[in-house]
């Protein structure tokens, strides 16, 4: 059973190809993500990963790793604190902060942190798992 303080970490990076694919499937062709020239002259100095693509790592972790199969995603809040750049490694971490046993729900902190320990994305998620919570 899952308990408070349990966590899962994973190193992740997104390629420019991932960004193109996400732009296609989401329809978000904001040039900051896909137009090198446009992005170079922006405050970010280059193309950045869609926030929702970067945050999808939490969906992946919950749905396939921890707790894994059987997870139902109830909520996710996300603060996009700093840009996520392509081809850079980040650490995605989810950690149990609250258990609502009678509902089989748990709250997790969800963070994406860069190599200098700065949070690029932070937030909380609530999930349901009938067997593990």
| Residues engaged in binding a copy of itself (CB under 8 A) | 18, 21-22, 24-33, 50-53, 55-60, 63-64, 69, 71, 73-80, 123
Other beta carbons less than 10 A from residue 91's beta carbon = 16
Instruction: Considering the complex, state which of residue 12 and residue 99 has its C-beta at the smaller distance from a copy of itself.
Output: 12
36: left (phi over 0), alpha (psi -120 to 50) or beta: alpha
DSSP 60-105: HIIIIISS-TT-EEEEEEEEE-S---TT--EEEEEEEEEEEGGGTE
Instruction: Considering the complex, state which of residue 24 and residue 45 has its C-beta at the smaller distance from a copy of itself.
Output: 24
Instruction: Considering the complex, state which of residue 5 and residue 31 has its C-beta at the smaller distance from a copy of itself.
Output: 31
CB of residue 70 vs a copy of itself: minimum separation in angstroms? 8
Instruction: Considering the complex, state which of residue 5 and residue 28 has its C-beta at the smaller distance from a copy of itself.
Output: 28
CB of residue 57 vs a copy of itself: minimum separation in angstroms? 7
CB of residue 128 vs a copy of itself: minimum separation in angstroms? 10
């Amino acid at each position: 059973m899952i308990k408070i303080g349990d966590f899962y970490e994973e190193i992740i990076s997104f390629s420019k190809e991932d960004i193109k694919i996400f732009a296609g499937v989401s329809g978000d062709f904001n040039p900051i993500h896909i137009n090198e020239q446009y992005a170079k002259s922006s405050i970010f100095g280059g193309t950045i990963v869609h926030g929702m693509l970067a945050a999808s790592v939490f969906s992946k972790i919950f749905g396939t790793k921890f707790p894994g199969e059987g997870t139902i995603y109830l909520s996710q809040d996300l603060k996009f604190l700093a840009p996520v750049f392509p081809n850079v490694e980040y650490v995605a971490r989810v950690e149990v902060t609250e258990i609502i046993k009678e509902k089989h729900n748990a709250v997790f902190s969800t963070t994406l942190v860069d190599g200098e320990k700065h949070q690029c994305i932070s937030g909380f998620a609530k999930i349901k798992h009938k067997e593990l919570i």
